[in-house]
Amino acid sequence: MKEPLINTIHEFIRRAGKVNDDNEMIALMTKLNDSEIPGHFNWVKDIYEGIHLKEHPSKLALIWSDIDTGEEEEYSYAELHSKANKLLNFLRSRGVGKGKVVYVMTPVLPELWVAYLSLVKGGMVIIPTATNLTPYELKIRFSESRPDVLIADEKSAEKLDESIGHTSPLRVVVRGKRDGWIPYDEVEKESGEAEAELTTPDDPTFNFFTSGTTGLPKRVIHTATSYPVGHISTAAIIGLSGDDVHLNLSAPGWAKFAWSSFFAPLIVGATVVGINYAGKLDSNKYLDAVESYGVTSFCAPPTAWRQFILTDLNKRKFEKLRKVLSAGEPLNPEIIKVWRDKFKLTIRDFYGQTETTAMIGNLPYYDVVPGSFGKPFPMYDVRLVDDNGNEVTKPFEVGHIVIRLDKWRPIGLFKGYSDPSKNEAAFRGVYYYTGDKAYFDEKGYWYFVGRGDDVIKTSDYRVGPFEVESALIEHPAVAEAAVVGSPDPVRWQVIKAFIVLKPGYTPSEDLARDIYQHMRKLLSSYKVPRIIEFVDELPKTISGKIKRNELRKIEEERRKKGERGRYEYFV
């Protein structure tokens, strides 16, 4: 007889952070995958309220700080619950109910956690919206999914007004004032008690817009179970338990924030730390916060880890920090080495997509192999296939990362895209294609190669950018690097490196040649960049991923026009 889903979730919560063996984890995930899904499931009602609020209402749920202004706030599980109910009652009093579309566009503020809890409980469709989106980008999203409600801070509200056109959604402004918007003070007048919506496991909850390599952004549809329950994999790979104080450096509006700042810690009943800052990341201030709030578990993107090692780490102790993780794109082995040597802490890589939860990773009890992002997590049946759809079984053969669906459909996999043609491209035969490429070694550790379109074809070789970038980072002058293919009439493509230098180094042809010689010592000749360009910064998404497709377009246009960068050297 199948175990009810809620019972299996409860078992995971009890054992969170205590499973130290692959066989145990496989057994637990097999039980989860085979659980009986109820006809109705509401994560806030069944897990947040049914377990955590009942067992530890006064426990600290959220510590929030703005490192620019010095503001600090704390909320218990009961206090977040009350505030979420007030927002839900406010929306219901204005006719907003189950299935209505709500865009949430604020920086890292406590109201984000309140909104997510409230909207999941109310069965509404949440569209997290990054604060750096332009009115043009917002209009594209509104044409795809019309908003019924906008929740935004004062600055974002101005952009939303410019983008919304003739439609008239309900507008709520957080921590500020704006004409035509209801101040959040009105929400606080409502009752702190509310009944949960009767939602089915397949009802849509979180929708994300994610950029593809071609065309307009795709709308990814998650359900009342795929994110709330699916992020058991994320919590497990991070190694979270109810004793943790967890901080995730991620911008709202992107899936990683919902992953690691909301669902993963709240699934297990941990304490979340939310740090807000404006403009560029101040590494020293941020690391000060990691220490002062007693963070035990810390996740950040590779971009941030590269910045952190440029600070004076000698003044750091991190006495309570036990778990350090990186996600977004693979972390260079040199960064892992620096952190391990200094603090005896190993940064563990893990991998997933907006369309999934964490699906490949280094579990806390693994012997981390630098450069590897771990092993497939048993919630998912992850495989590699070649260009003809045949499964790759030999170590070190590059293939497409796919999820096999004929044995079971993982609970963390999204429902689908809003565009049927995108579904046809991604779901082929018995597989879901992630669009990424990787290989594994003889011990089963996986290594990221790149997006399918990031792989560089030079002469008869295929080169993944990550391996080259990792070698570049080992040069003492290199702070960051991105590698793309540059059009070449003979080789089809040659490898080009865009490099951001560390403080104290200046661009020159001599330095470019020194980096070239450094690379010749580390890599086969066909992997060595033939063009090096020094730049002030690399284009990135708000979540810290390098936009190689943008660099590739720039490079293609330059070669067509015969142009050359100011600090570009052909070595």
Using the predicted structure, report yes or no on whether residue 215 has a pLDDT greater than 70.
Answer: no
Per-residue model confidence as pLDDT tens digits over 341-366? 999 999 999 999 999 999 999 999 99
Contact 355, 349 (CB under 8 A): no
In whole angstroms, what is the distance from residue 206 CA to residue 219 CA?
10
Region 385-393 average pLDDT: 95
- In the chain, the percentage of residues whose pLDDT exceeds 70 is 97
Using the predicted structure, report yes or no on whether residue 213 has a pLDDT greater than 60.
Answer: no
Contact 500, 480 (CB under 8 A): yes
Phi, psi of 401 (to 5 degrees): -75, 120
pLDDT band of 142, cuts 50, 70, 90: very high
Phi, psi of 11 (to 5 degrees): -65, -40
Per-residue model confidence as pLDDT tens digits over 318-335? 999 999 999 876 787 888
pLDDT band of 135, cuts 50, 70, 90: confident
| Helix (H) or strand (E) run with residue 516 in it | helix 509-522
Place of tokens 């947040």: 48
HEC letters along 198-260: CCCCCCEEEEEEECCCCCCCEEEEEECCCCCCCCHHHHHHHCCCCCCEEEECCCCCCHHHHHH
Region 239-265 average pLDDT: 95
Phi, psi of 185 (to 5 degrees): -55, -30
Mean pLDDT of the chain: 92
- Per-residue model confidence (pLDDT) at position 214: 45
HEC letters along 301-329: CHHHHHHHCCCCHHHCCCCCCCEEEECCC
In whole angstroms, what is the distance from residue 69 CA to residue 71 CA?
6
- Per-residue model confidence (pLDDT) at position 431: 97
Using the predicted structure, report yes or no on whether residue 89 has a pLDDT greater than 70.
Answer: yes
Residues 6+ apart with CB under 8 A from 121: 42, 44, 45, 84, 85, 88, 194, 196, 197
In whole angstroms, what is the distance from residue 358 CA to residue 377 CA?
8
Q: What is the DSSP letter of 189?
A: G
- Per-residue model confidence (pLDDT) at position 543: 65
- Per-residue model confidence (pLDDT) at position 527: 86
pTM: 0.84
In whole angstroms, what is the distance from residue 442 CA to residue 426 CA?
28
Query: Half-sphere exposure of 62 toward its Cβ, with a 13 Å CA cutoff?
Result: 25
Region 50-76 average pLDDT: 97
In whole angstroms, what is the distance from residue 413 CA to residue 428 CA?
15
- Per-residue model confidence (pLDDT) at position 528: 92
Per-residue model confidence as pLDDT tens digits over 396-409? 999 999 999 999 99
Answer with the residue of higher pLDDT: 139 or 56. 56
**Domain ranges across the chain:** 77-222, 456-570
Per-residue model confidence as pLDDT tens digits over 67-77? 999 999 999 99
In whole angstroms, what is the distance from residue 288 CA to residue 292 CA?
6
469, 475, 477, 478: CA torsion to nearest 10: 10
pLDDT band of 542, cuts 50, 70, 90: low
Region 192-206 average pLDDT: 97
Per-residue model confidence as pLDDT tens digits over 398-457? 999 999 999 999 999 999 999 999 999 999 999 999 988 999 999 999 998 877 767 787
Which of 36, 153, 142 has the alpha carbon at shortest distance from 106? 153
Contact 244, 16 (CB under 8 A): no
Q: Coil, strand or helix: which one is 549?
A: helix
Q: What is the DSSP letter of 192?
A: S
CA-based max dimension of the chain:
71
In whole angstroms, what is the distance from residue 51 CA to residue 54 CA?
5
In whole angstroms, what is the distance from residue 407 CA to residue 400 CA?
19
Fold of 77-222: Rossmann fold (3.40.50)
Q: Which two tokens stand for residue 331?
A: 């972390």
Per-residue model confidence as pLDDT tens digits over 16-26? 999 999 999 99
pLDDT band of 524, cuts 50, 70, 90: confident
CATH of domain 456-570: 3.30.300.30
| Helix (H) or strand (E) run with residue 76 in it | strand 72-76
Region 25-47 average pLDDT: 95
In whole angstroms, what is the distance from residue 132 CA to residue 291 CA?
28
**Burial class (CB within 10 angstroms; exposed 0-12, middle 13-18, buried 19+) of 510:** exposed
